[in-house]
């Protein structure tokens, strides 16, 4: 087993509320959201996995050039849980997983580093907290591999966190990006 956690970037959603594939929407310097978030994660955890749906297959080469391992979730319609399971299955030897969402481009790289370090130092479950709100990404140690591998619903790993509250380490941060996801075109910050 590797002593380093692996990032899992979840990018297989449907973007229904955005009315187009939001992950292809440019965020800064005309960079699509998917690639911007992938670059940040690859910078912190270079051997990360990105889970995409078949519609994003055209980005495989660009994602692999960032050092990411691309996994296509052919059952993406089953929801976020199935994508988490795909990512964990592709990196079973990791000491843990930092599960990031591709529609959260404003998270600072320093925050990702802080959370990854907490996992490396032995945290069981770790998540950032901005003001009174728990944010993303969320990290899990290898101890949760079996629970993560059987996920298949759209609620992701929320139940694992709820049933293991005593193992959750919240990391206070001033990084508002940990609670800013993009669901609608108006959520994109243009300044």
Output the CA–CA distances (angstroms, integers) from residue 103 to 24, 35, 165, 184, in the order listed: 10, 11, 25, 10
pLDDT at 121: 96
In-domain check, residue 1? no
Q: What average pLDDT does range 133-156 have in this prediction?
A: 92
Residue 64 is inside which H or E element, if any? helix 60-65
Q: Give the tens place of pLDDT for each residue, 55-95.
A: 889 999 999 999 999 999 988 888 899 999 999 999 999 99
In-domain check, residue 74? yes
**Percent of the chain residues topping a pLDDT of 90:** 69
In-domain check, residue 93? yes
How many structural domains compose the chain?
Answer: 1
pLDDT at 30: 81
In-domain check, residue 127? yes
Pairwise pLDDT comparison (8 vs 23), residue with the higher score: 8
Supply the CATH number for residue 111's domain.
3.90.550.10
Look up the pTM and report it.
0.92
Q: Give the tens place of pLDDT for each residue, 2-18.
A: 678 999 999 987 655 54
In-domain check, residue 122? yes
Output the CA–CA distances (angstroms, integers) from residue 121 to 41, 52, 124, 126, 151, in the order listed: 19, 29, 10, 11, 26
Backbone angles phi, psi at 181, to 5 degrees: -105, 160
pLDDT at 7: 98
Averaged pLDDT score across all residues of the chain:
89
**Domain enclosing residue 128, as ranges:** 6-186
In-domain check, residue 132? yes
pLDDT class for 153, splitting at 50, 70, 90? confident
In-domain check, residue 100? yes
In-domain check, residue 191? no
Of 13-22, 104-113, 150-159, the range with the highest mean pLDDT is 104-113
């Amino acid at each position: 087993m590797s002593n380093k956690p692996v990032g899992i970037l979840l990018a297989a959603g449907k973007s229904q509320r955005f009315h187009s594939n939001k992950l292809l929407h440019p965020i800064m310097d005309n960079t699509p959201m998917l690639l911007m978030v992938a670059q940040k994660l690859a910078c912190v955890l270079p051997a990360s996995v990105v889970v995409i749906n078949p519609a994003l297959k055209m980005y495989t080469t660009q994602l692999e050039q960032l050092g990411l391992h691309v996994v296509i979730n052919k059952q993406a319609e089953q929801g976020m849980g199935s994508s988490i399971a795909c990512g964990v299955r592709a990196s079973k030897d990791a000491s843990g997983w930092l599960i990031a969402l591709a529609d959260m481009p404003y998270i600072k790289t320093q925050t990702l580093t802080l959370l990854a370090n907490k996992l490396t130092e032995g945290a069981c479950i770790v998540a950032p907290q901005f003001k009174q709100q728990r944010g993303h990404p969320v990290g899990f140690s290898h101890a949760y591999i079996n629970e993560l591998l059987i996920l298949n619903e759209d609620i992701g790993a929320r139940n694992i966190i709820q049933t293991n509250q005593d193992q959750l380490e919240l990391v206070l941060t001033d990084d508002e990006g940990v609670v800013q996801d993009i669901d609608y075109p108006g959520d994109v910050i243009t300044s």
